C-alpha cells in the first residue's frame, strides 16, 4: 500500500459584507438603503468584506458600470484557530472619500459585490439607491444707482 500526501481545501463563508456612505438613510416605503450625494461634490463611500478564505473578487458597480478603480483597496489577513485547525480571515476594504455623482446617476443603484472565485453561489451583494441632489447656488443682487 502506498501512502499519498493529501491536501484538503475548504471554502469558508462570507461572514460580513457592508457598504456605507457619509450621507445615507433607509427608505421605509421602498425598503432600500439610499445614499445621498450633492451633484459633483465629493462624498465618502466604503465597501467592506470580512470572511474566511479564499478571498473574494470584489467590485463596486454603479448602474452597469464597474467603478472599482475609483476606490482605494486595503487588505489584511488574520490567522485564526488552534495549531492544526487554523484558517485565514480576510478583511478587505474599498474606500473612496472623493466619489462624485452627476444628476444622470440619480435613481441608479450602487452595488458592492463579493464573489468567491469559482464558487458563484457564494457571492454576496449589498445595494443602495443613489439620490443626487442639485447644488443650490444663492445669488445676491444689489441695486445699482
Domains and CATH numbers, the chain: 14-133 (2.60.40.10)
End-to-end CA distance of the chain: 108
Q: Report residue 138's pLDDT band, with 50, 70 and 90 as the boundaries.
A: low
pLDDT tens-digit map of 74-109:
999 988 888 888 888 889 999 999 999 999 999 999
- On the 0-12 / 13-18 / 19+ scale of CB atoms within 10 A, 61 is middle
Q: Which residues contact 42 (CB under 8 A, 6 or more apart)?
A: 97, 98, 99, 100
- Can you give the pLDDT at residue 131? 97
Between 137 and 108, the more confident residue is 108
Amino acid at each position: 500500500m502506498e501512502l499519498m500526501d493529501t491536501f484538503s481545501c475548504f471554502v469558508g463563508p462570507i461572514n460580513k459584507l457592508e457598504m456605507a456612505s457619509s450621507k445615507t438613510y433607509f427608505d421605509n416605503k421602498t425598503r432600500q438603503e439610499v445614499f445621498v450625494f450633492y451633484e459633483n461634490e465629493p462624498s465618502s463611500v466604503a465597501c467592506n468584506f470580512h470572511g474566511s478564505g479564499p478571498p473574494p473578487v470584489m467590485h463596486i458597480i454603479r448602474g452597469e458600470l464597474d467603478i472599482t478603480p475609483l476606490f482605494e483597496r486595503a487588505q489584511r489577513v488574520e490567522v485564526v484557530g488552534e495549531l492544526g485547525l487554523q484558517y485565514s480571515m480576510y478583511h478587505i476594504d474599498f474606500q473612496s472619500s472623493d466619489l462624485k455623482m452627476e444628476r444622470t446617476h440619480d435613481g441608479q443603484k450602487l452595488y458592492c459585490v463579493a464573489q468567491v472565485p469559482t464558487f458563484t453561489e457564494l457571492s454576496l451583494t449589498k445595494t443602495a439607491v443613489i439620490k443626487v441632489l442639485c447644488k443650490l447656488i444663492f445669488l445676491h443682487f444689489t441695486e445699482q444707482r
